[in-house]
Amino acid sequence: MKKIGVYTSGGDAPGMNACIRAVVRTAIANDISVVGIRRGYEGMIAGDMIDLDSRSVANILQRGGTFLKTARSEEFRTPEGRAKAMEQLRKRGIEALVCIGGNGSYAGALKLNEEHGIPCVGIPGTIDNDLYGTDFTIGYDTAVNTALDAIDRIRDTADSHDRVFLVEVMGRDSGFIGLDVGIAGGAEGIMIPEDKEDIGKLLTHFSQEDRRTKAFSIIVVAEGEPEGGAARLATRLLAEYPNLDIRTTILGHIQRGGSPTARDRILASRLGYEAIQALQKGLKNIAVGIINGYASYTSFEHAIHNKKSVSHELLRMAEVLSR
Spatial separation of the C-alpha atoms in residues 239 and 224, rounded to whole Å: 21
Spatial separation of the C-alpha atoms in residues 113 and 159, rounded to whole Å: 55
Spatial separation of the C-alpha atoms in residues 195 and 313, rounded to whole Å: 12
Q: Which residues contact 92 (CB under 8 A, 6 or more apart)?
A: 3, 5, 35, 47, 49
> Within the chain, what is the greatest distance between any pair of CA atoms?
71
- Per the CB < 8 A criterion, the answer to whether 277 and 294 are in contact is no
**Short-list 74, 137, 119, CA closest to 308:** 137
Spatial separation of the C-alpha atoms in residues 138 and 263, rounded to whole Å: 9
Beta bridge partners of 5: 35, 97
Cα→Cα distances 299→48, 109, 121, 173, 225, Å:
28, 12, 9, 22, 29
- Per the CB < 8 A criterion, the answer to whether 282 and 264 are in contact is no
End-to-end C-alpha distance for the chain, whole angstroms:
58
Q: Which residues contact 155 (CB under 8 A, 6 or more apart)?
A: 165, 185, 186, 216, 218
Catalytic residue among 12, 48, 51, 128: 128
Q: 128 an active-site residue?
A: yes
- Per the CB < 8 A criterion, the answer to whether 6 and 16 are in contact is no
Q: Active-site residue numbers? A: 128
